[in-house]
Amino acid sequence: MGNLALGDGRVYVQSMTNVDTKDVEATVLQIERLATVGCEIVRVAAYDLEAANALKRIKERISIPLVADIHYDAKIAIRAIEAGVDKIRINPGNIPSKALKEVVAAAKEHGVAIRVGANSGSLKREFLEHYREKHVALAESVLEHVRALERLGFEDIVVSAKSSDVTETVEANRYVRNKVDYPLHVGLTEAGYGSQAIVKSAIAIGTLLMEGIGETIRVSLSADPVEEVRVAKWILGSLHLRKVPDLVACPTCARAEIDVMKLAEKVIALLDKFDKPIKVAVMGCVVNGIGEGADADIGVAGTKSGAVLMNKGRIVAQVPQDEIFQVLRREIENWEDWRA
Ligand code: SF4
């Protein structure tokens, strides 16, 4: 898809713009911000013909693959394909069969992939009545869309089965993966808000990725989409699927000699902009901090007068209280990954 090969073993990070697609400037600006933090595929809503028309100008100005999100109208889908998008996301169930044929023909002609999927909130009643378990109804609904495309001789397909419920999403994706081999786009839909949505998304996406299920991911948040990309990268980093910086910080207790929370907050903000797989430890005291931070490339552990600076658990310097962050920042910025 575009310059990416889904299924090449890499899990790609996807997000979606939330500005008006007709506002080309705002959309391009948001896509650039997303790409800067690590978004590799971006979806935009093409909700009418005018929005679809804007896609050509957007596509010309961005460097990551563009996906057009279309709900009902085949004309919009064809316009988006002609605009040069890399993938369209449609629901074949909402498009009459003659019009679907035309969409598929256009996608074939232009080499555009089609993502089909279903969300548990919009399942047809017959699926819910026919299949006792909701995750099966969700998965079978997705598979019906897949078969509709296959009957038209189209196989450049990406599949998604989403729910706001973690177990339902996991089970539905397992079911789909057992039935078809197309790349899967995984994530929750309407996940919730803030930490709650992050936890749910991390569990669902993490569980699936650990089973080798998922070629692209989206962490769907009610927030600036840049946040979605950050969280997605932390998920991939946690599973060692992507080299990203890591922070080890103790929860603090009565032994803490430094303000771990404040320092950890500053360090995570710094690491967020750092594109190397460094592991940094921020520990409250030397009693447990040295041993527990021994895995980190660089770390500090609080002392009565400030902190000790550590390198793989070895103490390499004493740092006064008011210089801890500056010293840590200098060490992080100068750090070279000798394993690279
Ligand atoms: S590292 Fe020290 S301050 Fe932090 S939790 Fe452990 S004992 Fe407490």
Band (pLDDT 50/70/90 cuts) for residue 129 is confident
Looking at 41-133, list the stretches that DSSP marks H as alpha helix, in order from N- to C-terminal side: 49-61, 74-82, 97-110, 125-130
How many angstroms is it from 205 CA to the middle of ligand 1? 31
| Secondary structure class of 74 (helix, strand, coil) | helix
Tell whether the model's pLDDT for residue 267 goes beyond 90: yes
Give pLDDT tens digits for 276-329. 889 999 999 999 889 888 899 999 999 999 999 999 889 999 999 999 999 999
| 254 CA from centroid of ligand 1 (Å) | 8
For residue 80, report the distance from its CA to the centre of ligand 1, in Å: 56
Best substitution site from 287, 304, 308 to test ligand 1's pocket, by max atoms within 8 Å of Cβ? 287
CA distance 77 to 90: 8
Domains of the chain: 12-238 (3.20.20.20), 246-334 (3.30.413.10)
Dihedral angle sign, alpha carbons of residues 165, 170, 176, 179: negative
| 28 touches ligand 1 (CB under 6 Å) | no
**Residue 340, pLDDT above cutoff 60:** no
Using 50, 70 and 90 to split pLDDT, how confident is the model at 192? confident
> Which ligand 1 atom sits nearest the alpha carbon of residue 283?
1
Write out pLDDT tens, residues 219-242: 999 999 999 999 999 999 999 999
Q: Residue 8 carries which side chain, given as an amino acid letter?
A: D
